Amino acid sequence: MRFTIAALFALASIAAAVTPNNAGAKSVGAADGSQFITGGCTSDADCSSACCAGNPDVGVCSAEAASLQAGKTGCGFVDPNADATIAAAKAQVAKQGFKRVVRSDLE
């Protein structure tokens, strides 16, 4: 059986589905555009790129050009389970020991 390089890349992209980066848990659901690319999101408003791509049941901030790659379903994902996703992200933040700093904390 022969595989072409393109077939190997296609299989690799299916096997390596993108999942949100836990380091960005503090910005999930903030709706302030503070989430970085690869961080979790509940809508486009979370992402600095203004693109929350579904994958397929979770949101991942993405560049628009990459919003249809690696199993993502494109920008405009709105998490139907946002409350549970935000609660899980808050639990992840507590586990990691990160604290969300707001501008008023710095003044």
Q: pLDDT per residue over 39-94, tens digit each?
A: 999 999 999 999 999 988 899 999 999 999 999 999 999 999 999 999 999 998 88
Say what the pTM is. Answer: 0.73
Q: At 6, is the pLDDT very low, low, confident or very high (cuts 50, 70, 90)?
A: very low
Q: Is residue 5 one of the residues assigned to a domain?
A: no
**Residue numbers of the domain that contains 63:** 18-92
For strand 52-54 and strand 59-61, is the pairing parallel, antiparallel, or unpaired?
A: antiparallel
Q: Is residue 106 part of a domain?
A: no
Task: Give the H or E element holding residue 40.
Answer: strand 40-41
| Number of domain units in the chain | 1
Residue 44 lies in a domain: yes
Does residue 99 fall inside a structural domain? no
Q: Is 8 inside a domain boundary?
A: no
Q: How many CB atoms lie within 10 A of CB 71?
A: 16
